[in-house]
Amino acid sequence: MAESSKEELVQLIKRFGAYLTVKISHLLPISLQNLVRTSIPFSACINFETFLKFLPDLDATNVSELNAKASKTQDSDLPQNSRSFGAIAGLAVAIVFTWRLLRSPSQPQRRQPKRQAGTPSSSGVSTPSNANLVPPGVSPSLEDSRAQNVVDEFFQPVKPTLGQIVRQKLSEGRKVTCRLVGVILEESSPEEIQKQATVRSSVLEVLLEITKFCDLYLMERVLDDESERKVLQALEDAGVFTSGGLVKDKVLFCSTENGRTSFVRQLEPDWHIDSNPEIVTQLARFIKYQLHISPTRPERTAPNVFSAPSLEQFFGCSAVPVRFQMETVCPVDSQFGDEISALLNPPSPLQEYFDDLISTRQWRGIKVKQNGEFGKGVYADMDFKEGELVLKDQMLAGAQHYSNKIDCLVCSFCFRFIGSIELQIGRRLYLQDIGVSVNRGSDMETFKHISSDCYGTDSCDEKYNSCLKNFDNLGNCASSSSKEKFSIPREVVESLMNGELVLPYSKEFSLPSAVPCPGGCGEAYYCSKSCAEADWDLFHSLLCTGERSESLCREALIKFIQHANETNDIFLLAGKVISSTILRYRKLKATHLKEQKMSARPNISDCLDISLLLEAWKPISMGHKRRWWDCVALPDDVDCSDEAAFRMEIRELAFMSLQLLKAAIFDKECEPLFSLEIYGHIIGMFELNNLDLVVASPVEDYFLYIDDLPYPEKQEADKITRPFLDALGDDYSVCCQGTAFFPLQSCMNHSCHPNAKAFKREEDRDGQAAIISLKPICKGEEVTISYVDEDLPFEERQALLADYGFKCKCPKCLTEEP
Ligand SMILES: C[S@@+](CC[C@H](N)C(=O)[O-])C[C@H]1O[C@@H](n2cnc3c(N)ncnc32)[C@H](O)[C@@H]1O
């Protein structure tokens, strides 16, 4: 690719960053206010209120009282791994680049909440130094250029013709119906047509392209026969009939607007194009896609309704920037059309799959059944009392948000907190220290003094007592203001991380030791060997950037991860789904080959075996899906006239991510998985089904525990812990946040008056989804949850639910509908 187009591409990615659509959790306003994901919110019993109450008390603490004899600390019994400075240093180094990417001054907000007004719509995404991302033992420059070559190979953009663009934009739809007034004709009402009819010259090119491969019907309400004649004459004069694509019989006339609706419903097109908002709204439930032509930006009424100021602008012929006419065409899509449709068609019978899933998980109490109206639904298979656990669902694929990785260290497979309280606090402070320029004043000197004492002694008790002595001296500065951020000297932070400094009572909150990734990437850590192995087998072996990675090209993989981190980390989850499908396919194939050998049948070849691929893909095929760029809601800061460009941009963004993934983990036998159609549907599936992944932080419990201690233990412990609490700041214990697809929970339909909700109880300390009944549920009743905050006013709820592609008609909505 020429240098200038590369630069253009980079600029393009930078702009994409600003467009990423997100949903914000309404239910965890404190901890999740920066959570920007496309998922149904999760409630959690995280006691923020208690802590908020407790903060002012801390401010008021008279530090001079903190002179009582310190209680004896718990002897350190930290697990070996968290004590290993080497491992911790490696972990810290691995995460340093994360911090840099996130917190460097040039780093803009990567995503914006979907419905947050006034957020900046565009800012440049800085491209970080690749050196930070190159695995150990690899020369950064050489590896980087090799990776660039691999990536460049996939970026030979083909300039598509207008026909290709039109076809792609119409999502390969074959039947199109279109109104004439306000779309094809200059005239804007049937009354005007009585006087004259003129075809808009700018629309002709697109119109003729549509007629080339679509069955096009034009229609209009006319007031008399003369109008009909004028319209046909105008179309003839414009050459619409001479191209051979359109015949006069396909221009339909009616005398009422309802007549047009009937035409459309009878013809059942893939697309209907109209300029009347009422008709568009009426048809939204019946027609797959509609394009509403409106000079002003209309409210989006449904996700299957697009809008543009003109037909030609929708296809990027005039208003859409020239670069979108250079849209890349994904060759896999055209090569594997049949395989892709097979993958996107949910296999039947659905029920058998879900019955098996429920029984293998030894769960009882629910059933997944086809719900006539809304697809699948979850039904109670026993009576539930109020507040009972209805379902505990293990995710099919989930990921911690990239931005959350600096706040907490969790198992990359089950998302439990790992290491120790000290490691969680120390790591956070360490990263904070690297990323934030702290005003190091005299406090720093005092801390230095403390740390040298702490380091200078051998016994833990001695260290602890020595620290206490010095923390006594710190009393005044530690309590001066809760708002002020305190810096803790690096040595103290390191001693927290390497287990040399043990905080009082932390033993009460012991966490599993951090097991590093067996592939040597230094990025993934686990709570146990079994989690490490399970992750390796199911996802990570192909996505690991370490030396033992089984990916095709580690450099391309690093680029894929980097691109996702800079744009939208949902791509990492899509990568996980593709990786797990490939790994499942390989296992199925190996079993198949083994069986063949035993039965002495001829060997199956190395080429794609679609039945095995369908089997491997089955868990994903069950999820309700639509294409990401079609179903994602238009962010508020994107003007309606830019909708077509916006949708094309995110499609391009996904295409770029897919090419990077393809360069990294391509498998010829699973080639259809690398089609943009599949990639778009995977991300669309996340958009429509995912649940917030939330795991409460033990650091919060720890500080609450200290606060609840009786006198004088509380004051003594406070002396040690307070500086850390102050240094951590207001968001001292951020929970693990991410997004995940859950196979059973994702079958639950929405109600604004639900009988269940996703709710993390005190004991739910991993990434599994927990669904609790909100009222008694009888056997046979449908289990519903609310996808949005059900206390919002009717209009706001409906607007949010439009993102999920439906208008809610629950009893509450029917009562509240104006
Ligand atoms: C998380 S899925 C729920 C399971 C889904 N019915 C299925 O077949 O997989 C969300 C999708 O279900 C449909 N849906 C859920 N609740 C609905 C409701 N109250 N009214 C209409 N459609 C609903 C919508 O298509 C929505 O995008």
Q: What backbone phi and psi angles, to 5 degrees, belong to 787? A: -80, -15
Q: 301 alpha carbon to ligand 1 midpoint, in Å?
A: 17
**pLDDT, position 67:** 27
Indicate if ligand 1 lies below 6 Å from the C-beta of 408: no
* % of the chain surpassing 70 pLDDT: 71
Phi, psi (degrees; rounded to nearest 5) at 394: -85, 135
Q: 799 pLDDT exceeds 50?
A: yes
> How confident is the model at residue 608, as a pLDDT?
66
Helix (H) or strand (E) holding 759: strand 756-760
pLDDT computed for residue 42 by the predictor: 55
Q: Which pLDDT score, from 0 to 100, does residue 708 have?
A: 96
Tokens of 704: 């609450």
Q: How far does the centroid of ligand 1 lie from the alpha carbon of residue 171, in Å?
A: 22
For 395-409, write each residue's pLDDT tens digit: 999 999 998 998 999
The protein residue whose alpha carbon is closest to atom 4 in ligand 1 is: 747
Q: What is the pLDDT of residue 629?
A: 92
pTM for the structure as a whole: 0.65
| Average pLDDT of the segment spanning 791-816 | 93
- pLDDT-based confidence at 347, cuts 50/70/90? confident
pLDDT computed for residue 759 by the predictor: 95
Q: Between these two residues, 20 and 738, which has the higher pLDDT value? A: 738
Top-confidence residue, 146 or 431: 431
> Which of 367, 624, 625, 797 has the most ligand 1 atoms within 8 A of CB, as the residue to mutate?
624
609-633 pLDDT, tens digit each? 899 999 999 999 999 999 999 898 8
User: What ipTM was predicted for this assembly?
Assistant: 1.00
Contact 316, 325 (CB under 8 A): yes
Q: What is the pLDDT of residue 396?
A: 97
Beta bridge partners of 736: 695
Which residue has better confidence, 765 or 639?
A: 765
Check if 780 has its Cβ closer than 6 Å to any atom of ligand 1.
no
pLDDT at 150 exceeding the cut of 80:
no
Identify residue 658 by its one-letter amino acid code: L
Q: Does ligand 1 come within 6 angstroms of the Cβ of 742?
A: no
CB neighbourhood size of 485 (10 A): 14
Q: Measured from the CB, is residue 747 less than 6 Å from ligand 1?
A: yes
Across the range 594-599, mean pLDDT stands at 80
The rounded percent of the chain whose pLDDT value lies above 90 is 52
Q: Judge whether residue 495 has pLDDT over 90.
A: yes
Pick from 145-154, 553-562, 599-608 the range whose average pLDDT is largest: 553-562
pLDDT of residue 481: 36
Tokens of 409: 């260290």
Contact status, residue 393 vs residue 769, Cβ threshold 8 Å = yes
The Cα–Cα gap between 576 and 570 comes to 10
pLDDT over 50 (residue 198): yes
Let me know if 146 is exposed, middle or buried by CB neighbors in 10 A (0-12, 13-18, 19+).
middle
Give the whole-angstrom CA distance, residue 583 versus residue 593. 15
Mean pLDDT (whole number) for 208-218: 89
767 alpha carbon – ligand 1 mean position (Å): 23
Of residues 177, 186, 295, the one with CA closest to residue 230: 186
Residues 713-727 have a mean pLDDT of 95
376 lines ligand 1 (CB under 6 A): yes
**Nearest protein CA to atom 23 of ligand 1, as residue:** 374
pLDDT in tens, 44-57: 333 223 222 222 23
For residue 122, what are the contacts with CB-CB under 8 A and spacing of at least 6?
Answer: 15, 18
Phi-psi region of 274 (alpha: psi -120 to 50; beta: other; left: phi over 0): beta
* Residue of 156 and 637 predicted with greater confidence: 637
Tell me the three state secondary structure of residue 747: helix
814 Cβ inside 6 Å of ligand 1 = no
Q: How many A from CA of 374 to the centre of ligand 1?
A: 5
Residue to probe by mutation, ligand 1, list 348, 628, 750, most atoms within 8 Å of CB: 750
Domains and CATH numbers, the chain: 43-101+420-510+698-733 (no CATH), 162-327 (3.40.50.1000), 361-394+742-816 (2.170.270.10)
787 lines ligand 1 (CB under 6 A): no
Of residues 707 and 4, more confidently modeled: 707
The predicted pLDDT at position 173 comes to 79
Summary mean pLDDT of the chain: 76
Decide: 245 in ligand 1 pocket, CB within 6 A: no
Protein residue with least CA distance to atom 27, ligand 1? 804
Question: How high is the pLDDT of residue 576?
Answer: 98
CA 485 to chain centre: 32
Taking the CA of residue 747 as reference, the ligand 1 atom at the shortest distance is 4
Q: pLDDT higher for 329 or 10?
A: 329
pLDDT, position 164: 78
The answer to whether residue 373 scores a pLDDT higher than 50 is: yes
Q: Is 788 in the pocket of ligand 1 (CB under 6 A)?
A: no
**628 or 201: whose pLDDT is higher?**
628
pLDDT at 1 over 50: no
Asked if residue 758 has its Cβ within 6 Å of ligand 1, the reply is: no
Residue 563 CB–ligand 1 contact under 6 Å: no
Question: From the alpha carbon of 626, which atom of ligand 1 is closest?
Answer: 27
Which of 133-137, 347-351, 455-459, 568-572 is least confident? Answer: 133-137
Tell me the per-residue pLDDT of 224-277, one tens digit each, with 9 for 90 and over: 999 999 999 999 888 888 766 788 899 999 999 999 999 999 999 999 999 999
pLDDT (0 to 100) of residue 603:
57
Q: Is 490 in the pocket of ligand 1 (CB under 6 A)?
A: no
Who has greater pLDDT, 511 or 10? 511
Task: Check residue 635 and give its pLDDT.
Answer: 85
Mutation to probe ligand 1, out of 42, 631, 804 (largest number of atoms < 8 A from CB): 804
Asked if 560 and 571 count as a contact pair (C-beta separation under 8 A), the reply is yes
Distance 630 CA to ligand 1 centre (A): 17
Q: Per-residue confidence at 722, pLDDT binned at 50, 70, 90?
A: very high
Region of poorest pLDDT, from 125-129, 537-541, 573-577, 799-803? 125-129
Decide whether any atom of ligand 1 lies within 6 Å of the 375 Cβ: yes
Q: CA 145, CA 331: separation in Å to the nearest integer?
A: 25
Stronger pLDDT, 503 or 16, i.e. the higher one: 503
The whole-number pLDDT of residue 485 equals 52
Q: What is the pLDDT, as a whole number, of residue 39?
A: 66
Is residue 624 within 6 Å of ligand 1 at its C-beta? yes
Yes or no: say if 803 and 23 are a contact pair by the CB < 8 Å rule: yes
What digits encode the pLDDT tens for the residues 63-75?
223 223 223 323 3
Name residue 628's amino acid: W
φ and ψ at 97, to 5 degrees? -65, -30
Q: Is 806 in the pocket of ligand 1 (CB under 6 A)?
A: yes
CB 805 near ligand 1, within 6 Å: yes
Give the largest CA-CA distance in the chain. Answer: 102
Side-chain-facing half-sphere of 728: CA atoms under 13 Å: 23
Ligand 1 atom with minimal separation from the 688 CA: 27
